[in-house]
Structure 1
Amino acid sequence: MSQMGNDDPARSFSKDLERGPSVLGHRHNGSNASLPGGIGSAISSSDSSILGDPDQPDLGEEWGPQHPCYPHLNPHVPLNSPEYTSTRIIRIRRDWLIEGDLAPTFSNLYPEILDPAGVSEQEFRRVIEKLNGELIPIFNPYSWRNILDGVLGLITGWVWDDLGLTYAKTRLRSLESWIDKWNIDMEKAAGSEEGIIAPRIVSLRRTGYMNLDFQIPDPEIAPATSEPSGSRSGPNMPAEPNPTVLPESRIEA
């Protein structure tokens, strides 16, 4: 009689190399019963990659790739580039509770690791408010402009869409320009000091609007643009003292 367990490597490990061993294998029982509180039916597939999967436990307090402050490897630069070794990605999850799957919206949970990188909590929330406020009307399928663009696309044989004249494409180009301007402003604020890497937002087109990626200097090797005001990492990675700062006793000597 075969034992029920996680002996199968295909079931024990996720396809995401950063996730490592799956912590959900022993929790998912394949049930499709309704969740408490009228949320609806659970997702029956154990291979779902949607971060809003109701079968996933709350991993916000556990240090790892699912933690908001976890510095991911930078997949947006070549592997042999200097940026690959000197930068990391802080990934902001999508918030499925705002508009569901009608529009890509992002969580406003502030990762404290962005503070020493040069992105304050106030600036972070301003960015989230700007992006969510733009993306919701852009992707709203019931807005009169999107309905009009659909009718015009049908009449013109989708030439209207190919020419980029739709409301959605026009607004998305404008939003990408705003992100580029934000990155330029961050580079100016960081100054021209050697070794300083300014934070930047990765294009939403590159991430497929599935997450919001902040590129920051690697907390382990790269200098930050400002001093941290609190803990720079997760609960299992306390902030380390700056080795370049000498104690007062040695300075006086």
Structure 2
Amino acid sequence: MERATIEAIRVHAARDYPREACGLVVVVRGRERYVPCRNSASGTEHFILPAEDYAAAEDLGEVVAVVHSHPDYPAAPSEADLVSCEASGLSWHILSWPADDLRTIQPSGYQAPLVGRTFAHGVLDCYTLVRDWYQRERGIVLKDFPRHDEWWNQGEDLYLQHYAEAGFERISQDQPERPGDVILMQLRAKVANHAAVYLGDGLMLHHLHGRLSSRDVYGGYWQEITRCVLRYQG
């Protein structure tokens, strides 16, 4: 990147500190330009770059890179950064601030493991895990759905609103039978807000907020908070 671009990124990181700053590098009429964007994430653990900000940058020129800061944290990419970089198909520049360490990553074919991945809502969460399992184990690409932070506390019932659109139908209240059945659970929320894939032999694959994804025995507490079981029909 050009020096002026890097300096603009530093200014933005300092202005938004201690929250993550995010923006885009755009080529406008043959010249590089940094376009600062809003971070619409509700917390401080990650960033969400609004679609309208991305579209506005595209109106200026060609988007060539995504930029964000790591406040009080090394510039080494998180697992969510690696996954998001792959999805974007663009270079990602990460600035540790105020340490002022800049690192760049490129798409390289990275895939987060099904077990042991870190949690980042909207990037690596329980529905992402369901989608990844279906793609890797069944070769089925499930539709993704936009989801805001804390949607389960804001009157949105995303799982029950969209499961049919994703190709599933409800088969029972709390009895998964076949590998691939999806278990919807209501975990300290007003709506079903947690999903797991049934693996067979009494095991499920799921990803809780703040924990690594894991295989666990289905039953007991998990069965108590189950609201329905879905099966993919295509």
TM-score normalised by the chain length of structure 2: 0.29
- Bigger radius of gyration: 1
Counting strand residues as a fraction of each chain, which structure ranks higher? 2
Counting helix residues as a fraction of each chain, which structure ranks higher? 1
Higher RCO, Cα 8 Å, sep 6+: 1
